[in-house]
Amino acid sequence: MKDLDDLAAIRTIDVHDTREVLAAFPLQCRDALAPRADRPLTGRRPRVIVIAGMGGSAAAGDLVAACAADRVDVPVVVHRSYGLPAVATPEALLIAMSYSGDTAEVLSALTTALEWRVPALAVTAGGELARLAEERRIPRVIVRGGLMPRMAVGHLLGDAEIAEALDEISALAAELGPERPTAVNEAKRLAAAIGDRLPAIYAGPETGAAAYRWKTDIEENAKTFAVSGVLPEMNHNEIEAWRRPVAGGLHLIFLRDHDEAPEIARRFAVLTGLIGGSAGGISTSWTRGKSRIARLLSLIYLGQWTSYYLALLYDVDPWSVPLLEELKRRLGAPAP
Ligand code: PA5
């Protein structure tokens, strides 16, 4: 489709009404405010928290880890694989996070925790994870089902500061929906600016989780490649890749933070001078709100809508993920 303001055309491509799920994101976050474990977590304060998850569920873990980094004196490790890392001892806490409850890697993490006697909490909408946790009397937080995992990040969070973030994303919900014309809709403008180029998304250290989230949302919703990186680390490696002619086919997106350190602001300025001319185009978006969670969620929500409009520009249904589903189906089938 060419015109992101054509509501009838949007409905034709968005056959699963993804726009309504995105518009309800602030309500989803409000749901997460109530504590919902079905039995209390007992035992001592953990020495380390391991969050096991994949894809959209791991993204919720990234957010928790990013918010905890400057406020909680317990390390939070996001584990994206089978089994558990060696830090998962009986003095740790495993949070097994799978929206569907049927992700093999997360089930393997919980099974390993049971073997290693690591205290655990399951966060899921159901599936085998909910069943196994119930059977083994592991506390469960059961979240509302029926969504795509990457669009359920609000349900998977439970941070008290989310209350402050709600105001910001509620305001954004009113600004970014399909009814708001491109001229005053940041997500539509970003999607149009990216166009046929591949997005390269960079953020500072405090909002780096948002840059990675943009990449994965663009990959799953718009079904195209995306690059992401975090300053200052990307200054030490990825920056050199911008010397290649292929950089002209990329669209730079800087995710800036109103609260970023002066050193990071200076790095963005110098980086723009060095690689801005090589890119096919540049866009900059800014965080909203004060708390880390508000700043992260405001960027992530903008990225969700941007990837949604990019999908529409490419005439693809933002909801379905046929290759991912086929892969899971084949892995679930008996080996030949
Ligand atoms: O967004 C998606 O659909 C995927 O990235 C899933 O989150 C991923 O495959 C893991 O599934 P689940 O979140 O149900 O554990």
CATH of domain 34-156: 3.40.50.10490
The two domains 7-17+160-313 and 34-156 share their CATH topology (first three levels equal): yes
Ligand 1 pocket by C-beta < 6 Å: which residues?
Answer: 54-57, 98-100, 103, 106, 148-150, 220, 321, 324
pLDDT value for 35: 55
pLDDT value for 155: 63
Residues 6+ apart with CB under 8 A from 205: 230, 231, 232, 264
Segment holding 65, helix H or strand E: helix 55-68
Which whole number is the average pLDDT over 43-66? 91
Q: Quote the tokens at residue 47.
A: 């020495």
| 290 included as an active-site residue | no
- Report pTM: 0.88
pLDDT value for 54: 94
Which whole number is the average pLDDT over 282-301? 94
Q: Residue 103 burial by CB count (10 A; 0-12/13-18/19+): exposed, middle or buried? A: buried
Residue 202's Cβ-side half-sphere holds a number of Cα atoms within 13 Å equal to 24
pLDDT value for 154: 65
Q: What is the pLDDT of residues 251-283, one digit of tens each?
A: 999 999 999 999 999 999 999 999 999 999 999
Does the structure show a pLDDT above 80 at 329?
A: yes
Taking the C-alpha atoms of residue 308 and residue 19, their distance in angstroms, rounded to an integer, is: 8
Domain ranges of the chain: 7-17+160-313, 34-156
Q: What is the pLDDT of residues 211-222, one digit of tens each?
A: 999 999 999 999
Taking the C-alpha atoms of residue 207 and residue 231, their distance in angstroms, rounded to an integer, is: 10
Residue 187 sits at the vertex; the CA angle it makes with 270 and 222, to the nearest 5 degrees, is: 95
The CATH fold of domain 7-17+160-313: Rossmann fold (3.40.50)
Tell me which residue has its CA closest to atom 15 in ligand 1: 98
Does the structure show a pLDDT above 60 at 312?
A: yes
Q: What is the pLDDT of residues 107-148, one digit of tens each?
A: 999 999 999 999 999 999 999 999 999 999 999 999 888 777
From 168, 206, 220, 260, the catalytic residue = 220
Does the structure show a pLDDT above 80 at 242?
A: yes
Taking the C-alpha atoms of residue 101 and residue 170, their distance in angstroms, rounded to an integer, is: 29
| 2 included as an active-site residue | no
Does the structure show a pLDDT above 80 at 317?
A: yes
Q: Residue 127 burial by CB count (10 A; 0-12/13-18/19+): exposed, middle or buried? A: middle
| Residue 277, number of CB atoms within 10 A of its CB | 11
Q: What is the pLDDT of residues 154-196, one digit of tens each?
A: 665 555 567 788 899 999 999 999 999 999 999 999 999 999 9
Does the structure show a pLDDT above 70 at 153?
A: no
From 128, 134, 164, 328, the catalytic residue = 328
Beta bridge partners of 251: 199, 281
Taking the C-alpha atoms of residue 135 and residue 265, their distance in angstroms, rounded to an integer, is: 51
Q: What is the pLDDT of residues 2-54, one digit of tens each?
A: 899 999 999 999 999 999 999 999 988 877 766 578 888 887 889 999 999 99
Q: Are 322 and 220 in contact (CB under 8 A)?
A: no
